[in-house]
């Protein structure tokens, strides 16, 4: 496994000229930064966006403590961001899916608190922060967009924190993950959790054994069915009752 982080390194690939419209034609446009920008501004944005990858499982995109230089937009794959607490225990802060932005939490400290690791082969777009900020001065919508993303993250966090009990946490995770998949055009009730149980448990702040048991209980109650990493939500309503909120992750 790679011990070097990739942030700002030579592994990046600038878009070749013919791909200037990369952002324009990106299937994730609606989820990503530019949203409903006029075409000329999208092209300005694309001009300094660099493609990185494919990155492979186990590689580190951002190392904790590194100076903050750029944010990353995920094009494909799966990553996790984690914090290392006392005794260097890893805690998974969130799972990162295509269309999501990585690194905005590092703005304040000017360096990354979280470490970002690849869980499943991924391609990301590197967006230098200074240039993004410069562009955002001319594009009001972009600025709002960034605020919105950060704001959403906070309110989700606040909300999730209020959940007590292992079962509620797990239910919330399943519903939230399903919702994220749905936004990306997949089924909200049938999906594959490519990350390990250990990582999920860490994210939910429960022991892996507890997660395993809760999933089993859910299955016995007919709420879900499990085939290894493949999950099928059978009683979405009942699961939602346990966390009374539309989305999360």
Partner DNA sequence: CGCTATTTTGATGTTGATCAACTCTTGTGG
Partner DNA sequence: CCACAAGAGTTGATCAACATCAAAATAGCG
- 158: CB partners within 8 A, 6+ apart: none
CA torsion sign, 136 to 140 to 142 to 145? positive
* Shortest reach from residue 120's CB to a second copy, in Å: 22
Does 206 contact DNA by CB under 7 A? yes
Does 105 contact a second copy by CB under 8 A? yes
Does 1 contact a second copy by CB under 8 A? no
CB-neighbour burial class of residue 110 (10 A; exposed 0-12, middle 13-18, buried 19+)? exposed
- Which among a second copy, DNA, none contacts residue 159 (Cβ within 5 to 8 A by kind)? a second copy
Does 107 contact a second copy by CB under 8 A? yes
* Shortest reach from residue 210's CB to DNA, in Å: 3
Of the candidates 241, 234, 94, 92, which has an alpha carbon nearest to the alpha carbon of residue 168? 241
- 215: CB partners within 8 A, 6+ apart: 170, 224, 226
* Shortest reach from residue 205's CB to DNA, in Å: 6
SS3 2: coil
CB 117 within 8 A of CB 83: no
* Residue list 11-50, contact with a second copy (CB under 8 A): none
Does 207 contact a second copy by CB under 8 A? no
Does 121 contact DNA by CB under 7 A? no
Does 109 contact a second copy by CB under 8 A? yes
Does 61 contact DNA by CB under 7 A? no
Residue numbers at the binding site for DNA (CB under 7 A): 164-167, 196-198, 205-213, 215-216, 226, 228-229
């Amino acid at each position: 496994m790679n011990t070097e982080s990739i942030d700002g390194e030579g592994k990046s690939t600038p878009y070749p000229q013919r791909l200037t419209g990369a952002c324009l034609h990106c299937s994730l446009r609606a989820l990503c930064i530019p949203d409903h920008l006029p075409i000329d501004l999208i092209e300005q944005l694309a001009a300094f966006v660099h493609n990185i990858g494919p990155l492979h499982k186990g590689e580190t995109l951002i190392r904790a403590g590194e100076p903050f230089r750029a944010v990353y937009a995920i094009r494909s794959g799966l990553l996790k961001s984690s914090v290392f607490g006392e005794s260097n225990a890893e805690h998974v802060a969130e799972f990162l899916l295509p269309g999501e932005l990585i690194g905005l939490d590092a703005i304040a400290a000017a360096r990354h608190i979280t470490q970002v690791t690849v869980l499943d082969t991924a391609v990301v777009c590197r967006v230098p922060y200074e240039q993004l900020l410069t562009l955002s001065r001319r594009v009001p919508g972009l600025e709002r967009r960034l605020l919105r993303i950060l704001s959403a993250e906070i309110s989700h966090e606040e909300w999730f924190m209020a959940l007590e009990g292992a079962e509620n946490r797990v239910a919330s995770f399943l519903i939230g993950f399903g919702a994220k998949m749905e936004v990306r055009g997949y089924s909200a009730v049938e999906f594959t959790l490519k990350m390990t149980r250990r990582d999920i448990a860490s994210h939910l702040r429960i022991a892996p054994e507890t997660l395993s048991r809760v999933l089993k209980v859910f299955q016995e109650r007919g709420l879900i069915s499990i085939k290894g990493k493949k999950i099928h939500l059978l009683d979405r309503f009942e699961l939602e009752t346990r966390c009374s909120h539309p989305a999360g992750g």
